[in-house]
């Protein structure tokens, strides 16, 4: 019997937790400062790189924003995309690696779905795309006309997605985001899953 009491307390605690999660989900989503972190698949398009180019891989994003209850927010963000790998087509040597990242400032329109805790959203603003080219093999890079260089471009930033508050201040996020650049940086896409946490 002595060991039964802690077991019963543990079961009661877990039961309370599972009961409370749906209760949190139907509460009104809170407002205030929030942090968001996402990770997923990235893709690069509209580039002018020579040779054979690999443009996809894993990337991540972090945002800091303020949510105004219940339909509007504003945020700044940083996204790191997968490196672009440029290969010389005749010998398959890696001529250069390109580090890709962007910064954005965006407004966020939010559509709460009744009292479900789910929200659809769209983001729109301005993004700054950056591509840093680093030569890996000099001979292959020379054959393709590549050299170490840094490129940046300013363009539109857009995103679409949804988030579900499974606790009052913590939401699961799924989104697609695009930072539009030029031919020297490319246009950068991120398809991601993540979490958003209200901190104030």
- Note the pLDDT tens digit of each residue in 28-63: 557 899 999 999 999 999 998 999 999 899 999 999
Instruction: Using the predicted structure, report yes or no on whether residue 121 has a pLDDT greater than 60.
Output: yes
Average pLDDT, integer, range 160-181: 96
* Model pLDDT, residue 24: 43
* Model pLDDT, residue 200: 72
* Model pLDDT, residue 40: 98
Residues present in the chain in total: 200
Structure tokens at 42: 């990235």
- Note the pLDDT tens digit of each residue in 3-35: 455 444 544 554 444 444 444 444 555 789 999
Closest to 165 in 3D by CA, of 123, 118, 132: 118
Instruction: Using the predicted structure, report yes or no on whether residue 128 has a pLDDT greater than 50.
Output: yes
List, in order, residues 6 or more apart from 194 with CB less than 8 Å away. 36, 37, 38, 39, 40, 61, 172, 173, 175
* Model pLDDT, residue 186: 95
* Model pLDDT, residue 17: 42
* Model pLDDT, residue 21: 45
* Model pLDDT, residue 29: 56
Average pLDDT, integer, range 117-144: 95
Which has more confidence, 70 or 182? 182
Q: Which domains does the chain have, with CATH numbers?
A: 4-198 (2.40.160.20)
């Amino acid at each position: 019997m002595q060991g039964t009491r802690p077991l019963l307390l543990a079961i009661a605690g877990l039961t309370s937790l599972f009961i409370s999660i749906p209760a949190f989900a139907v509460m009104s989503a809170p407002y205030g400062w929030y942090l968001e972190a996402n990770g997923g698949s990235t893709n690069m398009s509209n580039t002018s790189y020579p040779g054979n180019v690999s443009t996809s891989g894993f990337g991540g994003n972090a945002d800091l924003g303020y949510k105004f209850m219940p339909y509007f927010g504003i945020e700044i963000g940083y996204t790191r995309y997968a490196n672009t790998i440029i290969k010389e087509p005749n010998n398959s040597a890696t001529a250069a690696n390109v580090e890709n990242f962007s910064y954005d400032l965006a407004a966020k329109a939010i559509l709460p779905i009744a009292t479900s805790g789910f929200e659809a959203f769209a983001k729109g603003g301005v993004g700054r795309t950056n591509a840093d080219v680093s030569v890996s093999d000099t001979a292959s890079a020379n054959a393709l006309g590549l050299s170490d260089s840094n490129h940046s471009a300013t363009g539109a930033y857009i995103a679409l997605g949804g988030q579900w508050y499974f606790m009052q201040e913590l939401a699961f996020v799924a989104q697609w985001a695009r930072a539009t650049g030029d031919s020297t940086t490319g246009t950068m896409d991120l398809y991601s899953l993540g979490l958003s946490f209200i901190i104030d």
